[in-house]
């Protein structure tokens, strides 16, 4: 399944909050206590980027991102991890944080 093109620059000007409920319906990727869950094919670069931005926005709202400007990004050994992490790292950078690979 080929992914549709994704404009990575869009996130640089994203000033509005991302609504998780809408993203879950639109993408089919659910979010709960275990994080984002769905088929790897449904976790497009855009979906991963938007979930990461939404999570960062939440942490900013509750005051959890007030440290040195660094934000850790980690993954596992699944084949899709590299692509998903690249999207997450883009989101972290576009929100003004320094991504730290874990």
Q: What is residue 5's predicted lDDT score, i.e. its pLDDT?
A: 42
Tell which residue, 101, 96, 73, 81, has the closest CA to residue 15: 96
DSSP E strands: which ranges in 1-102?
30-32, 35-37, 70-73, 98-101
pLDDT tens-digit series, residues 11-65: 443 567 888 888 888 888 888 888 888 888 899 999 999 999 999 999 999 999 8
pTM reported for the whole predicted model: 0.77
Structure tokens at 54: 């939404």
What pLDDT digit, counting tens, does each position of 54-87 carry? 999 999 999 998 778 999 999 999 999 999 999 9
Q: State phi, psi for 30 to the nearest 5 degrees.
A: -90, 160
């Amino acid at each position: 399944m080929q992914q549709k093109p994704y404009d990575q620059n869009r996130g640089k000007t994203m000033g509005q909050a991302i609504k998780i409920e809408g993203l879950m319906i639109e993408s089919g990727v659910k979010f709960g206590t275990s994080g984002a869950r769905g088929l790897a094919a449904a976790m497009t670069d855009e979906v991963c980027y938007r979930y990461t931005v939404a999570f960062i926005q939440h942490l900013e709202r509750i005051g959890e991102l007030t440290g040195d400007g660094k934000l850790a990004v980690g993954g596992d050994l699944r084949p899709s991890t590299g692509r998903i992490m690249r999207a997450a790292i883009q989101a972290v950078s576009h929100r003004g944080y320094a991504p730290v690979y874990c």
